[in-house]
Structure 1
Amino acid sequence: MTATIISWFLANVFAFITNKLWVFHSKSTSRFAYWREFLRFMLFRLFALAIDISCMYLLREWIQLGNGLAKVLTQILVGVANYLFSKFLVFRHVS
């Protein structure tokens, strides 16, 4: 469990940096703005994790799809959700 939590955190720190710099070209004007983006990013990634777990449960237990298909469908949904969260709720450009 500890290794999984650490790897999730480090993967999302890496994702934050790459998304901030190269995907959304966000330039924080202060430390407060930087940390606000970081905390929002992590919060929405936790929300996406909840979506992932919930969809896997729904698709496997209720709809009874196979593991592979359920995971592919769930990852598409989570990937789109992460992009939309980042674009509109985390790295929004405020004038």
Structure 2
Amino acid sequence: MIAKLKNLFHKYYEIISYVFFGGLTTVVSWIFYYLPLFLGVDYRISKVISWVAAVVFAFFVNKHWVFLDKDYSAKALLRQGGEFFASRIATGVVEFGLTVFLVEVAKISDKIVPIPVAVITIILNYVLSKLLVFRKK
């Protein structure tokens, strides 16, 4: 039984670790969203702050632990960092737009909106990271 679980973990390591670290990234994002929000900062500014913090955190955990990329040369960091940040800008625009739409148009509480938006963002980010940023050569 333990051997089977171990085999499943190794077989699906990338997805399991992405979900785990995606969850941690979401926590980082929410901390940097809610803290400024509760301090009186507008939710749009809070969203930008949370996005920047989450992207920086996500790059390093995805590179090192999810996709097991240990190349820390300047060339690799510049290429991957550029592609990662470009892909996150794209999903960040989606995330920001969804947040504003759901709060302003759909009239959903700004306290609840980050939850469904995070699910959509995590899926988009995995696909872009896997296919673009940390692709195997």
Class of the TM-score when normalised by the shorter of the 2 chains: 0.7 to 0.9
Q: Is the 8 A contact 1:59 1:65 kept in 2?
A: yes
Residue segments in structure 2 that go unaligned for 5+ positions in a row: 1-44
Residue segments in structure 1 that go unaligned for 5+ positions in a row: none
Tell me how large the CA RMSD over aligned residues is. Answer: 2.5
Higher RCO (CA-CA < 8 Å; seq separation 6+) = 1
Equivalent in the alignment of 2:52: 8
* In structure 1, C-alpha distance between the alignment counterparts of 2:62 and 2:117, rounded to whole Å: 21
Match of 2:78 among 35, 50, 53: 35
Q: TM-score, normalised by structure 2?
A: 0.54
Which deviates more from structure 2 when the two are superposed, residues 59-68 or residues 18-27?
A: 59-68
1:76 has 2:100 as partner: no
Whichever of the two has the greater Rg, that structure is 2
* In structure 2, C-alpha distance between the alignment counterparts of 1:53 and 1:15, rounded to whole Å: 17
Q: Is the 8 A contact 1:44 1:85 kept in 2?
A: yes
> How far 1:51 moved relative to its partner?
1.1
The percentage of aligned residue pairs carrying the same residue is 30
Which deviates more from structure 2 when the two are superposed, residues 44-53 or residues 27-36?
A: 27-36
Q: TM-score, normalised by structure 1?
A: 0.74
> How far 1:21 moved relative to its partner?
1.2
Q: Is the 8 A contact 1:24 1:91 kept in 2?
A: yes
Runs ≥4 residues deviating over 3 A: 27-31
Matched residues, number = 90
